[in-house]
Amino acid sequence: MTDDARSRIDSTVKGNDVVLFMKGTPLFPQCGFSSRAVAILEHLGVEYASVDVLQDQAVRQGIKEYSDWPTIPQLYVKGEFIGGSDIMMEMYENGELSQLLQDQGVTTAQ
Amino acid sequence: MPMAAEEIETMIRAAIPDAEVEITDLAGDGDHYAARVVAESFRGLPRVRQHQRVYEALGGRMGGVLHALQLTTACPQ
């Protein structure tokens, strides 16, 4: 990964409480997994930043190295990698995700 | 080229010998799978690490030839 991509990813991840790296945008997700991740965050009513990796090849590749995670979407809360859409779904269903957001002081609608 | 379910299962078992692996072909097209991997050696590992071990077992295919693998990991009850 280029230093430029790493520093851009790093500042996005650290500069936002909740960030979703995804394919497409929250309004127009370009992949079922990204769509599912967006739906979870919308259900929780949490404010989040999103990055469309399809618009940036360096970030699309770089984010996989950054987290040592081979797929997109990827969720970060307070600078920490939380998981992809399967982990998000599991944590959403058992209440862990809203608990985590609450513990981290992130405001949700629930 | 999509991967066969048996191939996925074999690779996971080779890397995680104590794993019980259950593969479901979600769409019947040999391209969209769900995998449930239960292993004692997952105990104590955060969920992200458990998934990373499965992805490592698939040796870089995840996100490449293997686009759609819904993954669930757990420890034996």
CATH number at residue B16: 3.30.300.90
Please give the residue range of the domain that contains residue A69. 3-103
Cβ contact, residue pair A86, B71, below 8 Å: yes
Cβ contact, residue pair B52, A71, below 8 Å: no
- Classify burial at A109, counting beta carbons within 10 Å of its beta carbon; exposed 0-12, middle 13-18, buried 19 or more: exposed
Tell me if A109 is assigned to some domain: no
pLDDT one-digit tens code per residue, A80-106? 999 999 999 999 999 999 999 999 999
Tell me, yes or no, if A64 comes closer than 8 A to chain B by beta carbon: yes
Cβ contact, residue pair B47, A33, below 8 Å: no
pLDDT one-digit tens code per residue, A5-54? 999 999 999 999 999 999 999 999 999 999 999 999 999 999 999 999 99
Query: Into how many domains does chain B fold?
Result: 1
Residues 6+ apart with CB under 8 A from A66: A1, A6, A9, A10, A13
Tell me if A110 is assigned to some domain: no
Tell me if A85 is assigned to some domain: yes
CA distance A7 to B33: 35
Tell me if A19 is assigned to some domain: yes
pLDDT one-digit tens code per residue, A65-79? 999 999 999 999 999
| pTM attached to this predicted model | 0.91
Tell me if A108 is assigned to some domain: no
Query: Into how many domains does chain A fold?
Result: 1
Tell me which residue in B48, B64, B68 faces A87 most closely, judged by beta carbons.
B48
The domain that contains A81 carries what CATH number?
Answer: 3.40.30.10
Residues 6+ apart with CB under 8 A from A32: B68
Q: Which residues from B are below 8 Å from A87, CB to CB?
A: 47-48, 51
Short-list A83, A19, A21, A81, CA closest to A55: A21
Q: Closest Cα of chain A to B49: distance in Å?
A: 10
Please give the residue range of the domain that contains residue B53. 5-74
